[in-house]
Structure 1
Amino acid sequence: MKFFKAVILAIGRAIHRVSPKFSKKLEQGYPFARQKMVRLTHLATKNPRVALLSSAGLYLENQQPFQYKNFYGDFSFRVFPGDFPICFLRLTESDFDRSGFEADPGSLFPLTELKAVAAEFGGQVAEHHFSLLGFCLKPNKLLETSVPQILKILKEDKTDIVLLVPACVVCHEVLPPVAAALEKSGIATVTFAFIPRALEATRGPRTILFDGDCGLPFGALAVETRKELIRLAIRAAFEMKTAGEVWKFPPAFSAQTMTKNAAAVR
């Protein structure tokens, strides 16, 4: 199955260079692996420390880029300090549309917006944030090697919530097991998603579904809209009671309607 997926994505990357529209249709047929649910972590604080975890293949200018051209991808990770100039971020070479990131790195890593929202509710931005490469067709390697190291740092930082941000099709398969591993270790998670079909097979313990796109999930959203999305995610970390629940964004409806939408997505 790993080889089959790698072949599908290799074809998709090749076709993408000629016809992005056809590539997107191919991505819609990606065989997502099913993800088992885990129990939700209960937040014991009203003023949580919040970290970001991106799967866009981001790295800092003094770090090595990810190995995107490897046949099975890359299962390593990068760690960022809690407060760093966002202009220091770099994006690993890939087939993404890079224009959104180049114009505004927050389109992939909304750290500035997270800082603003954390200040509103008396929370804190965690001391470290993290980056993975979503193109990882050996997720067990990721879970066995990188995730324990990430957990160690999160525990040392006393981080309460991790917001997981996808950037591609495979990200929607890679991030849910990472979120589950964090939940099992007592850290609450909220995973963003922009491919509804992926949620039929795999999803994080808590999910916010919104209208994003590969390569620039927050690229089409204004800064204030990104803040609203993060506010909803932090609210979900406190209010979601059922593992696998999904809230849709924008939340132009009541909490009761959100629950109905969550059931519909299941």
Structure 2
Amino acid sequence: MRVPVVQHRGRRRRALGRRALWTGGEFLVTAGVVLLLLVVHELWWTNREARQGAEHQVRALERQWATPGAGSGDTPSANAGLAGGSSPRRGTSAGGSTTVTGSATVPRRSQAYAVLTIPRLHLRVPIAEGVSKQNVLNKGYVGHYPGSQQPGQAGNFALAGHRNTHGEPFRYLPRLRLKDTVQVETSAATYTYTVDRILPQTSASDSGVIRPIPRSIVKPSYGFSRPGHYVTLTTCTPDFTSRYRMVVWGTLTSARAR
């Protein structure tokens, strides 16, 4: 009489399969939670942290400018000057009214030294020298392109800012319309530019938009053909990509010394 042999291989195989499925499920759930936390960090925490830091920096600049003798100091957190603290130069505009033009001194790299205000966007943020992500843009600041002009100077005062995450100061830049105003405040003066050109999309390498006489080299019908006093605002487009750039240009229409 034969004794039946119990086969355990099938049971083991099924048990291993269930264990593998359980382990895989746990891994997917864990990965999903980690991914969700990363998204929350990028979309919420970086914005919160950067905005608080930017607001603090604006207040620091305002306090320093309100202090008698502001403009002679030189601190990393609040540069006292249009461009290093010297007084603005006065001249006469084509219409005969008095204008204020900037000095030639350049702030230190990553130094916050001015405040950008865009009424339509309810935006008020610091401007810092340079466009470093780590030291400028990721702090929620707007960065000044090195080599472009300073506020109020003849030429092109060119700026860059994040559209998404890290404070996203230029999140709503597409809402700007022609004749909207853009103000730049320094310890020396307040400059008001009026928006008169908008380039919805161009290549990220379109360097023509920040030249002294700004004109797109990708879409030459956008830009200017004569010297002037310009401001340029640039940001990534469309949302959550960095493939293209949006550009807004304005022309200096008034300047008021402090």
> TM-score, structure 1 length as denominator?
0.26
Higher helix share: 1
**Structure 2-normalised TM-score?**
0.27
Higher relative contact order (CA 8 A, sep 6+): 1
